[in-house]
Structure 1
Amino acid sequence: MITELGRLIARRIALTGPISTADFMAEALGHPRLGYYRRALPVGAAGDFTTAPEISQMFGELIGAWLAERWLSIGAPSPVRLIELGPGRGTLMADALRATRGVPGFHAALRLHLVETNVPLRAEQHRTLGASAPAWHERFGEVPPGPALIVANEFFDALPVRQFQKTAQGWRERMVGVAPDGGSLVFALAPGATPFARYLPDAPEGAQAEIGEAGRALAAAIGARLLRDGGWALIVDYGYDSGAGASLQAVRGHRGASILDRPGETDLSAHVDFAALAASAKAPTFGPIAQGDFLRRLGILQRAESLKARANESQRAAIDAALARLIDPDQMGTLFRVLAVGDGRSSLPAGFSEAE
């Protein structure tokens, strides 16, 4: 199916030539009027995917406790910018704020900043978090300076990536072009050598690779801010510690879809290269570690037992199911990774040591 945005992309290619997968992702997800993240309500059962905060309140509660502890570790500054990148429906932040109401001075110090481009989601976030007087921003760089606590859950996976394939002549970039019919979009390899080859590994013919320039640039901006103003960032996403092939995928209605089909109506994402993020931050980093290990060390098993003590039989079963989904190795427990970035001036963060 050719969407209005698909026709616009095909017209651009006809005029200027094939575009990179990164450019295609940027258009498909971020076009000012027709991009997926500009107009869709993607999160939840009615959307295209479900995130950890939507699975259980325990996730946001533990993230909130981690953020509050990090605030204390940097000297409890007031004010402090609490920044969430891609807040979804505001569920994670609502749970985090509810769980930290008892931390003396924490809420009084907070200035909530939400980085969100999706207008319908901003409305949802206002309904959920309006009492905390959030400020909204299109980009991370718009958030005012000052000490910061930053959380990004399933944000980096939606940032554009370039794709490459190793041929007999060397690495070639995977491009998006227009099929002979003049309307549908197709993949093809660029004929010439790519300048990104020096960043790609030695690999056999047929191997594939990805580079996420936008993710690396954002990690660099986060690291620079924390070193300058103080604070901590927590990045949670699905991905790999280092080195992987092509992972770009499409989802529509909770089911896999063709990457080039129905741009603007389909979610696109790629596994996050955490080693690249850590290197780009140029600041102290901890992890990445498995989400299951991180949540266990923060006390999710104890929190689940506490919730079950006040629940009926069906509620207890739901809590157990949510817990398994968040921490079991065959669910989100190992596929999702957690990385912390710090300012180099405060104590080590909870959740990253096997001794905990």
Structure 2
Amino acid sequence: MSDGSRGRVRWTALALTLALLVLALLSLLIGTGSQSAGRALDFLLGDHAARADAQLRLAVVDVRVPRTIAAVLVGVALGTAGALLQAVTRNPLAETGLLGVNSGAALGVVIGLTYFGAGSSYAMLLWALAGGLAASAVVLLLAASGRGAGASPLRLVLAGSALGATFHGATSYVLLGTKSTFDEYRYWTIGSLAGIETSTALAMAPLVAVGLLVALGAARPLGALALGDDSARALGHHPGRIRLVVAGAVTLLAGAAVALAGPIAFLGLLAPYAARTVTGPRMAPQLLLSALIGADVMIGADILSRVVIRPWETPVSVLLALLGGPLLIWIARSNRMSGLGASGASA
């Protein structure tokens, strides 16, 4: 990695970090209610009159703080998971639902609502997390079973697609017979950060932290794997094990994100692509920039979701879909796409 490339990555990371701090502040200042940004700023600066306003405290502390934390966690998790998944499958268009996390989480929510009365947001979060983790575990077992080189990219994709379709069918079957479950599930599956509590957001932070640590540890092995399985073995790595470890990290990251915000499309695809335009195929800086871009885009979209149809709120997944659809078409038509593949030469 040349000094120029290192400098470009360093400056980009600094700019993205500063943007994240600014967006986090804006997230605390802007809401759908009647509380103005100026009053919210007075509250944050410790103004006594603002601190004594119970409604303002509710808006800032109980509504905006937890969804800001959740937006950062979800963005970091999906950005990192997308970079890992695209690298391990060698597919620059892979996204985080590939391992069955989204479909498993959806089935978990439906089962919890229908058969166990999981009516609270925290209970739905736990059922979504359990469903996502269980689905990914089954995908990993299917991909690693049989003879051959272990969890190959093709096996991961096929197992994830097959299980996702099966879980989607099971979810539809349960929903057809329970109208009340469908009404509650419909709100969850839209994908939104509204109504998240601080304790709920912080409960997912350890999963995201573990997933990030595993991702950082896998950066160099993934760089070797990008040279081909034979080259990775010659360098002392085990391709099958690398893929299983990386898939486990993707499961933790994507599972936590889906549990918090519901299915969020495109972010896990777009953040790594944007990062590769700066880093090229190098995995370590790609993971860093993917996480920062994911956090910036997520929190920015959440802010926009509060103001585009004020005083109502647009689900953040809708805004990301409106942004991600045209960008995906542009990516697919881009002449640079083949040069920005998820496989790389070094970490």
TM exceeds 0.5? no
* TM-score after normalising by structure 1: 0.28
When you count strand as a share of all residues, which structure comes out higher? 1
Name which structure has the greater RCO, CA cutoff 8 Å, separation 6+. 2
